[in-house]
Amino acid sequence: MATTPAPDAAPTIAIVDYGMGNRRSVEKSLQRVGARTVMTRDPEALQAADGLLLPGVGAFPAAMRTIRELDLDVVLRERAAAGIPLFGSCMGMQLLFEESEEHGGAEGLGLLRGSVRRLQAGGLNLPHIGWNEVRWLREHPLNEGLPDPTHLYHVHTFAPHPTDEDAVLGVAEYGETFATVVAQGNIYGAQSHPEKSSTHGLGLLANFTKRCAQVIA
């Protein structure tokens, strides 16, 4: 697992509070790996943070509708363009992409190129629920210190299909091979639930926290 930042260097990570996602569990996990946290939908607080974490549980169209109603899409795009680290967790990762076919389709944040599609599970039960092996395609600061493969806990029916192959950091298998961890520039995401993935999930969040700490170094 990545080292925990020293208290005086601990970054503030804002958990985007739009009403969907395991926000409290994510908050506690980030605090365990040394981050200061604020759970907020206030634009000024989001602007002031050293990093942003976008959680998500539920349906993509409903999530994006709420995010737009709160004008959070504008803030997220502005902070991403400014180079602030942004991590999408579970459905939050899906929202980073251009569009989803879920429930008739909806546009996403467009921070990563590609679409979100229903898993081609080949007769396996959906949603996909449980631990899965994540195979790393390359070394990256986000997977530093994690084993290959890494076991992470998933709950999902849809998965992203990135247009840019170099955005895919980790893949898993469930009927088909799907992208489950992405990293491109300052944009990161995990289809799994890091906050439910024990030591390895904490390691992923610790590495993200370390990236956020570099903003204030």
Q: Which residues are catalytic?
A: 90, 193, 195
CB-based contacts of 28, cutoff 8 Å, min separation 6: 195
Rounded (10°) CA dihedral 48, 49, 51, 52: -90
Whether residue 97 contacts residue 114, with contact meaning beta carbons closer than 8 Å, is answered with: yes
Per the listing, tokens 């697992």 go with 1
- Which token pair is 36? 């200061």
CB-based contacts of 100, cutoff 8 Å, min separation 6: 60, 61, 94, 106, 108, 115, 116, 117, 158
Please classify residue 97 by burial: count the beta carbons closer than 10 Å to its beta carbon, then call 0-12 exposed, 13-18 middle and 19+ buried: buried
What CA–CA distance (Å, rounded) separates 67 from 84? 19
Per the listing, tokens 């601990």 go with 10
